[in-house]
Amino acid sequence: MTTSSISHSLFGGAIIASIPTNFADVSSIRQVPDNQEVFLRTDGFTSLTIDLCERVTYLSSLQAALEYHFSDIVAEGDAKRTYAIDTDIRLPNFPDMAVGTLMAVVTPPAPTEGRERRENEPKFVVILFALLRLEQQMTDVTVALNVPCTPGGPEAAMMEVEDVDFERGKYGSVVEEGKEVLGDILRSLEVKDWGMFGPGG
């Protein structure tokens, strides 16, 4: 994964953010929901999703909202282990706003009777996840970088040759660069048209 990036227009130009140059916009090949921007790594299996979600008003805690939105993207039955990652990310365009982050290692259930392992199903997926909350706009913005350890994929190949041990905080170069990508996106995220959020946006 390369961390070289370029400013990219999102949601029709209403938002901009730095996206890695080796990530392609999925909307050029298939339909993507209006509230999402999805990118795929052109030389691997890593994906990036930026999602505008309805604010979860009954959760005032940033951590609780982070865990709520994260649970929405993990399939039922998948095992997951979560780890804290850098929460001291400064947002130049939202100087008074805190950002919630986490990293999770998600493992699909083992094949059982009635469930065969899907073709190219990863052994596990590392998810780097972030949340910032636009309170006045009643919007929660999530950013998810999914790094799958898929047999035959470049991400898996790198993890296999490196001394990766999540429990000891040794994440390997693929995940470390993923953390850089996530940080770059958050630091560069800027709303250019607040009107996209409706009246009073």
User: Residue 118 and residue 175: Cα distance in Å, rounded?
Assistant: 24
In a domain, 162, yes or no: yes
Q: Which residue's structure tokens are 């990219």? A: 8
**Could you tell me which of 125, 25, 139 has the C-alpha nearest to residue 73?**
125
Q: Does residue 92 lie within any of the structural domains?
A: yes
Residue 110 in this model has a pLDDT that exceeds 90:
no
Whether residue 201 is contained in a domain is answered as no
Q: CATH number, domain at 131?
A: 3.40.1000.10
Q: How many CA atoms lie within 13 A of 105 on its CB side?
A: 13
Confidence category of residue 112, pLDDT binned at 50, 70, 90: low
Does 197 map to a domain? Answer: no
Range of the domain at 73: 5-110+119-191
Highest mean pLDDT: which range of 14-18, 134-138, 147-151: 14-18
Looking at every residue in the chain, the average pLDDT score rounds to 89
End-to-end CA distance of the chain: 36
Give 46-78 pLDDT, tens digit per residue.
999 999 999 999 998 999 999 999 999 988 778
pLDDT for residue 55 = 93
Please count the structural domains in the chain: 1
* Residue 122 token pair: 């990863």
